[in-house]
Structure 1
Amino acid sequence: MALEKTWRWFGEKDVITLNQLRQMGVEGVVTALHHIPNGEVWPVDEIMKVKNSIEENGMRWSVVESLPVSEGIKICSDDRDRLIANYQQSVRNLGACGIDTICYNFMPVLDWARTDLHFKLENGGESMYFDFPTFVAFDVFILKRKGAAGDYPQEIVEKAKRVFEKMSSEEADELAYNIIVVTQGFIDGVIDGSVSDPKALFLDFIDRYKNIGKQELRNNLKAFLDDVIPVAEEAGVKLAIHPDDPPFPILGLPRIIGQLDDYEWLFQANTSLNNGVTFCAGSLSARKENNLPEIIDRTSDRIHFVHLRNTQLLEDGSFYESGHLSGSQDMIKIVHALLLEQKRRIESGRKDYKMPVRPDHGIKIMDDYNYGYNPGYPLIGRLKGLAELDGAMRAVEYMLS
């Protein structure tokens, strides 16, 4: 029995409909209440509207992605108690509605980063690219964050300077807008397109972390878990933290979920099985030291949700999204490790053996160019990935039978 095939859906405003998802063989929907402001309670009636729509189309609401953790919780601001209370109530409400898995992240300010949203592949498809020197050019020479040059290797800063010197002012503005607004707006980021000066506000958010290093952010995550996990246990809800993307420090901000020792710390910080992870092959693969099958093996009983895609790593730390099967990672080994964990869960009697998996991101191909899909979320490119992953899972299942 393969993992549960799911799909990220962005609600009623998504140009891809629930009826289309059912036609594609999707079993579970991954979505959120995007119209509820960050930090506010998700009401039961709003949850049930979405849940009922999904079930009327023959699927289930498998995973909430995401119930955002407000910046005030991450930095322990004066309104933390209110934000925690609201988060706890949202968890209770989701559990009462029968939704049992929440994907969240604890990344400061920036949820994910790419420098090129229209990177052309050799086959004519369009992907997304994180060019390390270009990102440093944004941080050091466009954003002009104080002390930024000292946070990166000197050779990368020198490359970044050359990159910046070749940019027009329009290109520099577009790069900043893409990083700060375009990649964040549709996933409930801290800054949207209505802000008149996004760079200034972005710098303000970064400055709030000036006294928060890796250990301080870990402490704040532990405090969040200690407050929320007991509520999740009572509500029958599992929390699944998403790794940092990319899984290494940027913008002078701490990154605390990106490699194996981070997971070891996480499980020691809160030992409950409800304190779990979203295994995201794409994010974790962007750090060359990461051995993904080993991470699966060491985190196996805490994996509550799975994102599968591949990346192609470059020597200087840059990477581009290369599809779902091909790239720097052996996706068949990853699928094999996940299905072995499923087999162990079945044999041990765990009810949550059929882990939800979704094709994360996708290459823009064919008719995808005619629609305004969110960055990384085209229809045909993701459907291709879903079909490839489904075939891989079935083949590995056959070999394990």
Structure 2
Amino acid sequence: MKIVFRWFGSDDRITLDQIKQIPGIYGVVSAIYDVPVGEVWPFDKIKRLKKQIENSGLKFEVVESVNVHEDIKLGLPSRDRYIQNYKTTIENLSKIGIKVVCYNFMPVFDWTRTDLNFKLEDGSNVLFYDDDKIKNLDPARLVEEMEKHSGGFSLPGWEPYRLKDLKKLFDLYKDMTEERLFKNLKYFLEQIIPTCEKCDVNMAIHPDDPPWSVFGLPRIVKNYDDLKRITDAVKSKYNGITLCTGSLGTNPKNDLVRMIKDFKERIHFVHARNVKILSEKKFHETAHLSSSGSIDLFKIMKSLHEINFDGYIRPDHGRMIWNETGRPGYGLYDRALGIAYINGLNEAIEKGCDTN
């Protein structure tokens, strides 16, 4: 498997030179951040980004994310134009060697938390979610709170265009059901997967985060049955999955090991992280170490080895430690420690230590 690290481009306070010093690193996961969602990513911008990354000695083979325009999720007549743009972007990405595109199909909001700086007993700060607070919170108020406590950094997946008029967006989704949303995803996949097959680019849908309805919005990538339905909708290996242990793992009913074994041909990207479940629909992020949270990362890595996973894996949503400041969940130090932990598990498993 290839270990990668998410990098937010030239504006990222974490540099490529720093990332390169992480032992076992293969490359970075990045994106074009200055093109509006739904528009074509120009080839020259993609090419410059690739050159910048490769000049540092790192590989650039995974994009996270080419975001899906809301009109596609809503199934509006305008979706065909945005789908065509998406296909052109895939074609442009394939020309510079991109192998995987991570994306999600969450309406309105991307990942959702109620606290970006929850302090743990060890003094570190993490992302925190409490569904009881969501129930009594206006969506606009949540946006204000997250932006207020973001430290001035942009939040991945929270596109400004769709947060400008939340009331309008919520009105558009008021009659949306999981069934209709799934049909819109199926339509999207049926249109783009032939392009992916031609270009040899794997699509890898990211699970809903958290994997349940938030603010009454439908969610369709929550569990085993959802993943089975999605992978069956278009029977092509290019219609794949980003297995995020932290997103799926916040619901203890999700059997991550079973998912790895049953969807082994469709897992193109893995987000390895840990969470501590405090009660139903209440959790916080934590260190990657299995004993720090509710997810056994050893079992995850062992299962990936058993299926001979040769795709991409990255640490995700680390703590903010050692007085580091930066984009919540995306500091350098704890994610680097996460890679060290993944490396240690890999080496032990590969050398045949007792894995029972």
**TM-score, structure 1 as length reference:** 0.83
Alignment of 1:112 onto 2:114: no
Q: Which residues of structure 1 form unaligned runs of 5+?
A: 144-172, 343-352
Q: Secondary structure at the match of 1:320?
A: strand
**Correspondence list, 1:270-285, <5 A:** 270-285=234-249
Q: Secondary structure at the match of 1:304?
A: strand
2:156 to 187, 192, 198: 187
Q: Secondary structure at the match of 1:16?
A: coil
Note the aligned Cα RMSD (angstroms). 1.9
The alpha-carbon deviation at position 376 of structure 1 amounts to 0.5
Contact map agreement 1:239 1:275 (CA 8 A) in 2:
yes
Alignment of 1:395 onto 2:351: no
* Alpha-carbon separation, structure 2, partners of 1:398 and 1:89: 44
Closer, same or farther: CA 330–47 of 1 in aligned 2, 3 Å = same
Closer, same or farther: CA 297–266 of 1 in aligned 2, 3 Å = same
The letter of the residue matching 1:306 is: V
* Alpha-carbon separation, structure 2, partners of 1:54 and 1:261: 38
**TM-score, structure 2 as length reference:** 0.93
The letter of the residue matching 1:321 is: E
Contact map agreement 1:6 1:62 (CA 8 A) in 2:
no
Alignment of 1:381 onto 2:334: yes
* Alpha-carbon separation, structure 2, partners of 1:281 and 1:202: 29
Q: Which residue in 2 is equivalent to 1:18?
A: 16
Q: Which residue in 1 is equivalent to 2:4?
A: 6
**Correspondence list, 1:2-401, <5 A:** 3-25=1-23, 26-139=25-138, 175-179=142-146, 185-191=154-160, 198=164, 201-325=165-289, 326-342=292-308, 353-368=309-324, 371=325, 373-399=326-352
* Alpha-carbon separation, structure 1, partners of 2:301 and 2:114: 29
**CA displacement, residues 348-377 of structure 1 (integer Å, 9 cap, x when unaligned):** xxxxx5211110010111041xx3x11110
**CA displacement, residues 218-265 of structure 1 (integer Å, 9 cap, x when unaligned):** 000000000000001001100000000000111111100010000110
* Alpha-carbon separation, structure 1, partners of 2:217 and 2:257: 28
The letter of the residue matching 1:376 is: G
Counting matched residue pairs gives 349
The letter of the residue matching 1:212 is: M
* Alpha-carbon separation, structure 2, partners of 1:185 and 1:227: 31
The alpha-carbon deviation at position 113 of structure 1 amounts to 0.5
The alpha-carbon deviation at position 176 of structure 1 amounts to 4.1
Contact map agreement 1:277 1:305 (CA 8 A) in 2:
yes
The sequence identity of aligned pairs, in percent, is 40
The letter of the residue matching 1:363 is: R
The letter of the residue matching 1:214 is: E
The alpha-carbon deviation at position 179 of structure 1 amounts to 4.2
Q: Which residues of structure 2 form unaligned runs of 5+?
A: none
Contact map agreement 1:107 1:255 (CA 8 A) in 2:
yes
The alpha-carbon deviation at position 135 of structure 1 amounts to 1.5
Contact map agreement 1:62 1:356 (CA 8 A) in 2:
no
